[in-house]
Structure formats: structure tokens, C-alpha cells
């Protein structure tokens, strides 16, 4: 962090500020120029409040030169994080994983039928919402605890590990048999929830918020990591822009940027980004080509009758076709990427 001081800063005030900073565990280098004095902080500045420093009357400007996230930062953890589930599945080891399933768990027949079909197509994880964050309070809110039971029944039937969304920290006890807990876009900055998830020893799939920057996204991951849970998977699912053709705008550059900045695996969710079934395949391909570790796709046995997100869901037949092409694309991508 670099702090440029005002010309009228007195020696006493400068010493007072330096003292405060050193108390926070950083070393302070002072450069006295002809016209101004500059302080350079050395060490871990993640806990230093940049706004507080900027508000001091002797401070002209302040700039971070180090990212505010540490545990999510590739600089301090150069090798890729590989998440290994107790059942052996891996995320981030170079193989592309497909996660698929309905937006909402609706019935035993539905979830088991979808699970069998997506497994056949090569998916390694079954997704399905039991707690649904809906814009309208009058829309289907999910089957809650019963939905998790149905996912577990589908897991028993197929062996597929399950991914499902948590909305409140009060529900954590219901997720003890869930393999991967999803934090949805709307809860990306539910910091109290993130702190609680940081105490678990379970992978967390953290979706990017609707209007959050890459840095904010990584700071949310940092909350979980800082609590001691190192199993965080990032998910780019599209952000809000002025474009109305698609439900969201897939920020495809976020994938290589996140790979550069962080060691955490990243999944791309083209279903929520597009909102339109025919766009799912090209966006999934873009995910593969930009280095995603996995793709999450909504699949419903009868999209027209789905209780949520039917408009963007693929049928099992469509998923079967697309999955084949996605795996082919991954092979082609691996054969031409530079190492
Ligand atoms: C979902 O996965 O069904 C979901 C609600 O996703 P998002 O949080 O990305 O909108
Ligand atoms: Mn959905």
C-alpha cells in the first residue's frame, strides 16, 4: 500500500500515522521528496482499512498495490487447488467435470430419472435446488428438507454426488450429507453465511453475484477460506449488463482472469447466463476454451412443466448430445493449449 501525504503534513502527525500503521503489523518505509512525503507499507496489508487511511487529514491519496485477498491469491498458492470428494471425484485436476440436473427438485420420479440420464451422458455430479431463491414470494420456493432427501435418494440410486443450494446459515444442519454446498448468486455477499461455511470441511460452490466484480467475488471466497475451509469452487454464471437478449451476460473473460488471480477451480454455468436453451452449448464451449474446470447445466425431464427455470433447461436427450460435443471440445482444447 502506498500513501501519499499532503504537503502540510507535520512531522508529529506523520509519526502518529506511522505508529498506528506499525501497530497493525506492517513495516513503514518513508520517502521524503522535494514536494511530498510518501509512505510505503510492507507486509500483510489485508486487514488495513484503506478508507480509514484515506480519510486522515494528512493523507492526499492512498493506493493498494497488493490484492486484498490472500488465501484465494495465486501469488501465495501457485499450484491449482484440486478438490477431492470422499467418494473420489475430483474438481480442478485437469479433467472437465459436468454437473447437471434440474433447477428445482420436484419429485422422486423427476430427480431419479434426470440423475440416471445425466450420469449416462457423462455427468459426474447431480445438481438440484431444494431451497430456491425466487424473485417472487408467490413462485415455487422448493421442497426444502424433503428436496434434500430426494437428492439423497437419487444419489443412492446412481452414486452421483449431489450439489444443492443453501440460503440460510440456520439450515446448515440439513446439509450434512450433501456433497457440495452451493451458494447462489443472490447470497454471494451473505457474509454471515460465508463465515459459517468457512467452518465446514465440505466443498462450497460459490456463484458470482449478479452485479459483483471479480475482486468482490474473490473476497467472498476469502471469507470461506479465512474460516479454515479450503475447498472453494468458483462459479461464473453471468452478470447483469444493459443487454436484454440474454437473461444475464456471460463474463467469459472472468474465467481466465480468475485462473490468473486465483488457484481455485472454476465452473461455468451457461444455463443461468443465457436463459435460453440453444445458447447453453456455445457458452459451455466458451467455458471449455477459456479453461474452466467444469460446466454446470440445467436439465429437466420435462422443461415445459418445470416449476422453475424451465425456459433455460435442456431435455436429457439434448444434454446427451451436447455432453458428447463438450468432451470432444475439451480434448481438442487440451491438445492445442500451451502448457
Ligand atoms: C440455480 O443454480 O438454480 C440458481 C438459482 O443459480 P444462481 O444463483 O446462479 O441464479
Ligand atoms: Mn435455476
Residue 270 lies in a domain: yes
Domain boundaries, position 90? 83-338
Q: Quote the percentage of the chain above a pLDDT of 90.
A: 94
- Report pLDDT digits (tens) over 198-222: 999 999 999 999 999 999 999 999 9
Retrieve residue 317's grid coordinates: 436427450
Q: Is residue 76 part of a domain?
A: no
Nearest Cα neighbor of 198 from 216, 168, 222, 166 is 222
Burial 220-242 (b: 16+ CB within 10 A, else e): bbbbbbbbebbbbbbbbbbbeee
Whether residue 139 sits in one domain with residue 39: no
- How many domains are contained in the chain? 2
State the pLDDT confidence band at 230, using cuts at 50, 70 and 90. very high
* C-alpha 15 – ligand 2 centre gap (Å): 55
Confidence class for position 66, pLDDT limits 50, 70, 90: confident
pLDDT at 33: 85
Are residues 110 and 27 part of one domain?
no
75 found inside a domain: no
Is residue 73 in a domain? no
**29 plus 139 within the same structural domain:** no
Task: Using a CB cutoff of 5 Å, list residues around ligand 2, an ion.
Answer: 103, 309
70 inside domain: no
Residue of minimum CA distance from atom 9 in ligand 1: 185
Q: Which residues are near ligand 1 (CB < 6 Å)?
A: 103, 129, 133, 184-186, 207, 237, 272
Task: For residue range 136-155, list pLDDT tens digits in order.
Answer: 999 999 999 999 999 999 99
Residue 74 in any domain: the answer is: no
Over its C-alpha atoms, the chain yields an Rg (Å, rounded) of: 23
Q: Closest ligand 1 atom to the C-alpha of 207?
A: 9
Asked whether the predicted pLDDT for residue 236 surpasses 90, the reply is yes
pLDDT average, residue stretch 14-19: 95
Answer yes or no: do 175 and 233 share one domain: yes
- Mean pLDDT computed over 101-107: 98
Is residue 145 domain-shared with residue 253, that is, in the same domain? yes
On the 0-12 / 13-18 / 19+ scale of CB atoms within 10 A, 302 is middle
On whether both 53 and 149 belong to a single domain, the answer is no
| 71 within domain boundaries | no
Residue 72 lies in a domain: no
- CA–CA distance from 78 to each of 70, 71, 73, 260 (Å)? 12, 11, 8, 10
Q: In ligand 1, which atom is closest to the CA atom of 235?
A: 9
DSSP string, 264-294: S-EEE-HHHHH-SHHHHHHHHHHHHHTT-SE
CATH number of the domain bearing residue 59: 3.30.70.1140
Q: What is the pTM of this model?
A: 0.92
Write out pLDDT tens, residues 289-327. 999 999 999 999 999 999 999 999 999 999 999 999 999
Of ligand 1's listed atoms, the one at least distance from the Cα of 132 is 5
Calpha distance 259→237 (Å, rounded): 16
Whether residue 144 is found in the same domain as residue 236: yes
CB-CB neighbours of 34 under 10 Å: 4
Strand order in the sheet with 59-63: 27-32, 37-42, 2-5, 59-63
Are both 289 and 333 inside the same structural domain?
Answer: yes
Amino acid at each position: 500500500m502506498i500513501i501519499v501525504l499532503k504537503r502540510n503534513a507535520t512531522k508529529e502527525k506523520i509519526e502518529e500515522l506511522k505508529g498506528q500503521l506499525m501497530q497493525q503489523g506492517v513495516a513503514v518505509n518513508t520517502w521524503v521528496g522535494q514536494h511530498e512525503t510518501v509512505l510505503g507499507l510492507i507486509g500483510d496489508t489485508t486487514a488495513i482499512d484503506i478508507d480509514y487511511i484515506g480519510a486522515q487529514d494528512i493523507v492526499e491519496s492512498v493506493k493498494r498495490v497488493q490484492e486484498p485477498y490472500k488465501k484465494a491469491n495465486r501469488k501465495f498458492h501457485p499450484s491449482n487447488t484440486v478438490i477431492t470428494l470422499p467418494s473420489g471425484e475430483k474438481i480442478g485436476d485437469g479433467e472437465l467435470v459436468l454437473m447437471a440436473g434440474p433447477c428445482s427438485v420436484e419429485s422422486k420420479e423427476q430427480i431419479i430419472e434426470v440423475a440416471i440420464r445425466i450420469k449416462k451422458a457423462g455427468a459426474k455430479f447431480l445438481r438440484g435446488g431444494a431451497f430456491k431463491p425466487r424473485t417472487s414470494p408467490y413462485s415455487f420456493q422448493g421442497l426444502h428438507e424433503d428436496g434434500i432427501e430426494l437428492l439423497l435418494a437419487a444419489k443412492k440410486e446412481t452414486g452421483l454426488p449431489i450439489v444443492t443450494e443453501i440460503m440460510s446459515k440456520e439450515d446448515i444442519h440439513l446439509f450434512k450429507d450433501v456433497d457440495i454446498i452451493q451458494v447462489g448468486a443472490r447470497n454471494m455477499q451473505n457474509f454471515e453465511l460465508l463465515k459459517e461455511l468457512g467452518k465446514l470441511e465440505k466443498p462450497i460452490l460459490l456463484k458470482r453475484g449478479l452485479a459483483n466484480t471479480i475482486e468482490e467475488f474473490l473476497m467472498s471466497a476469502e471469507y470461506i477460506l479465512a474460516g479454515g475451509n479450503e475447498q472453494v469452487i468458483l462459479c461464473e454464471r453471468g452478470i447483469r449488463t444493459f443487454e436484454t437478449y440474454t437473461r444475464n451476460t456471460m463474463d467469459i473473460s472472468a474465467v481466465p482472469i480468475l485462473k490468473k488471480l486465483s488457484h481455485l477451480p472454476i465452473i461455468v454455468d451457461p444455463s443461468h447466463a443465457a436463459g435460453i436453451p440453444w445458447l447453453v452449448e456455445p457458452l459451455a464451449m466458451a467455458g471449455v476454451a477459456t479453461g474452466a474446470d467444469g460446466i454446470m447445466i440445467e436439465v429437466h425431464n420435462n422443461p415445459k412443466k418445470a416449476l422453475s427455470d424451465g425456459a433455460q433447461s435442456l431435455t436429457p436427450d439434448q444434454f446427451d448430445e451436447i455432453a458428447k460435443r463438450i468432451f470432444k471440445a475439451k480434448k481438442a482444447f487440451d491438445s492445442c493449449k500451451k502448457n
